[in-house]
């Protein structure tokens, strides 16, 4: 709140240590700093060919296995009470089984670090493990994100890992997506970072049904070295400390810090700072500049959103002519990590309130969802002074490949607003044709989505209000059939900025051309001619949804 002394908010300065993340008291946290190098594979990483064998591998016999890692779960029905730097006080427990000697090839598991998620590991064969993820804190569900460390690796054997309690019935793992592996030794000696690994990747319904989440992901992999420290992850991690390192570098850069002010939007439930960046440059005109509002990581497991946001910030803060022009024309209000607590503890979807923040924009619950509440209040303040030309919230999608957007077509309006809604995503698909799929975009406002950022901002008066969905897998467009790399994800940020210039170009030619194209596409989709443009208002948003985009509209966001 405005009355609070600024010192209460930790802002990264160019000097001094980073503000340490605050954890709920129940969470044990190891002392080591976990940091990964950025790397881009020299060749595309293709999807693996689904074997067509969707049935389970041979029964795993967890009951007969040996428990080799076990974190005590939060008691059912518990809720968040207090947080501190470093999490649980006192000495750490030892969740990993001790090795019997140098010949013992048991892997040593660990996940008590930022964004880490692994609850339990059972060894069911010499090189075979069944893993259980920790549900989002203070809930019994939302198991999707995983990120954990293994030590005591051996180079020759083929290992099999099976995550036994995933929540979603359908996943891109069933369509050729592979998990990510990071080898510390490869990073140090060869400069190689996160890469896709895994053969025989299967996603299937588990048996037993004693878990509320009964889907399983199984893959085999070899480690590159003996005695290495490796990590597995669902997507390229981007932690709260990664963001703070980025902001500290920004604060220490005399050029970039001139046109980027870093402030605290608010504090999270655990007391972590939710950052607000204001980016703009000397303006050309007298009229108030228009605003652009961008946000990411409402859902902590959707780390690709942070990499796209990174690309966006890198572009906006660069000295490229287009970046200078964007800063002259607009004021950018950016919240790069809306749910830092969820990111810190390794949640998939929720904040420490145990609920999905991207269903809470319509509520007045500042105490439960401070990030969302203050973002909405900030947009209302901005709208009182200037037009908001675009709102975009960055998310990740687990069931459809490529990148696409959800917009807001409330139906009932005339042709103008309904067609204009679709212009920005169409332009973006032209600027990123090998990644962005316009036919996958959806514009229907569903009942279940009323509390999302995109719908609430649209109802506040931001007519171009979108969720950008970035697949966890990759692209099937432009001759590609390969996973997204970090560079791919960052490039989405550049393309978004580029598209904004096309969208707001004083010469209306591009806009008009896209408007005509959208009109033709929708008429084609309806399969009939419209008499006059006013009759658009008789057509429901459902009728305009692409028949090719399947029935996935009820997911994500």
Separation CA 432–CA 484 (nearest Å)? 13
Q: CB neighbours of 337 closer than 8 A, spacing ≥ 6? A: 240, 243, 274, 275, 296, 297, 306, 343
Among candidate residues 469, 487, 517, 545, the one labeled active-site is: 469
- Give the pairing type, strands 159-166 and 147-151: unpaired
Separation CA 528–CA 36 (nearest Å)? 54
Q: CB neighbours of 470 closer than 8 A, spacing ≥ 6? A: 302, 304, 305, 308, 394, 395, 396, 397, 403, 484, 489, 492
Q: Indicate the helix (H) or strand (E) that contains 96.
A: none
Q: Indicate the helix (H) or strand (E) that contains 59.
A: none
Across 403-501, where does the E strand assignment appear?
403-409, 442-444, 465-471, 474-475, 482-483
Cβ contact 144:216 at 8 Å? no
The strand pairing partners of 295, in sequence order, are: 335, 393
The CA-CA-CA angle for residues 541, 542, 548, to 5°, reads 120
Separation CA 69–CA 226 (nearest Å)? 21
Q: CB neighbours of 520 closer than 8 A, spacing ≥ 6? A: none
26 labelled catalytic:
no
**In 3-state terms, what secondary structure has residue 70?**
strand
- Give the pairing type, strands 159-166 and 128-132: parallel
Residue 425 CA, chain-centre distance (Å), reads 19
For CA atoms 529, 533, 539, 543, the dihedral sign is positive
Q: CB neighbours of 249 closer than 8 A, spacing ≥ 6? A: none
Separation CA 54–CA 471 (nearest Å)? 22
For CA atoms 233, 234, 238, 239, the dihedral sign is negative
Tell me how far apart the terminal alpha carbons of the chain are, to the nearest angstrom.
Answer: 28
Cα–Cα separations (whole angstroms), residue 68 to 108, 119, 132, 163: 8, 11, 12, 15
Catalytic residue numbers, as ranges? 469
């Amino acid at each position: 709140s405005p009355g609070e002394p600024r010192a209460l908010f930790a802002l990264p300065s160019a000097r001094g240590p980073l503000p340490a993340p605050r954890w709920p008291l129940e969470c044990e946290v190891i002392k080591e700093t976990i940091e990964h190098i950025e790397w881009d594979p020299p060749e595309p990483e293709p999807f693996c060919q689904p074997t067509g064998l969707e049935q389970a591998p041979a029964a795993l016999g967890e009951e007969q296995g040996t428990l080799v890692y076990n974190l005590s779960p939060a008691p059912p029905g518990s809720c968040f009470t207090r947080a501190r730097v470093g999490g649980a006080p006192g000495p750490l427990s030892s969740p990993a089984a001790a090795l019997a000697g140098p010949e013992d090839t048991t892997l040593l598991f660990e996940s008590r670090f930022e964004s880490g998620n692994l609850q339990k590991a059972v060894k069911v064969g010499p090189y075979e493990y069944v893993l259980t993820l920790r549900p989002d804190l203070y809930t019994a569900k939302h198991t999707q994100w995983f990120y954990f460390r293994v030590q005591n690796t051996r180079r020759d054997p083929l290992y099999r890992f099976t995550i036994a309690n995933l929540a979603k019935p359908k996943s891109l793992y069933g369509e050729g997506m592979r998990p990510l592996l990071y080898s510390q030794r490869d990073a140090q000696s060869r400069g190689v970072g996160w890469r896709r690994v895994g053969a025989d990747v299967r996603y299937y319904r588990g048996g037993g049904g004693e878990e509320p989440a009964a889907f399983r992901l199984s893959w085999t992999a070899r480690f590159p070295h003996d005695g290495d420290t490796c990590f597995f992850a669902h997507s390229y991690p981007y932690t709260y400390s990664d963001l703070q390192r980025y902001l500290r570098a920004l604060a220490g850069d005399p050029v970039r810090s001139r046109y980027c002010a870093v402030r605290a939007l608010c504090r999270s439930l655990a007391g972590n700072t939710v950052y607000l960046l204001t980016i703009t440059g000397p303006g050309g005109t007298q009229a108030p500049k228009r605003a652009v509002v961008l946000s990411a990581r409402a859902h902590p497991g959707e780390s690709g959103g942070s990499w796209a946001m990174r690309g966006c910030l890198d572009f906006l803060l660069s000295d490229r002519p287009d970046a200078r022009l964007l800063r002259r024309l607009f004021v950018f209000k950016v919240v790069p990590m809306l749910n830092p607590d969820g990111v810190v503890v390794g949640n998939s979807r929720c904040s420490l309130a145990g609920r999905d923040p991207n269903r809470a924009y319509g509520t007045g619950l500042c105490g439960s969802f401070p990030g969302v509440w203050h973002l909405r209040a900030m947009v209302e303040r901005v709208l009182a002074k200037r037009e908001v030309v675009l709102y975009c919230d960055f998310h990740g999608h687990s069931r459809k490949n490529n990148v696409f957007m959800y917009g807001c077509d409330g139906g009932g309006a005339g042709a103008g607003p309904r067609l204009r809604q679709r212009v920005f995503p169409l332009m973006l698909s032209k600027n990123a044709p090998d990644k962005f799929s316009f036919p996958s975009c959806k514009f229907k406002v569903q009942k279940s989505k009323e509390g999302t950022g995109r719908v609430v901002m649209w109802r506040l008066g931001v007519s171009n209000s979108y969720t950008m969905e970035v697949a966890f897998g990759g692209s099937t467009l432009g001759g590609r059939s390969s996973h997204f790399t970090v560079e791919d994800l960052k490039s989405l940020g550049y393309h978004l900025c580029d598209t904004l210039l096309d969208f707001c170009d004083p010469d209306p030619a591009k806009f008009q051309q896209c408007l005509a194209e959208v009109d033709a596409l929708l008429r084609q989709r309806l399969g009939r001619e419209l008499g006059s443009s006013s009759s658009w208002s008789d057509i429901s948003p459902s009728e305009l949804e692409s028949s090719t985009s399947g029935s996935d509209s009820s997911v994500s966001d």
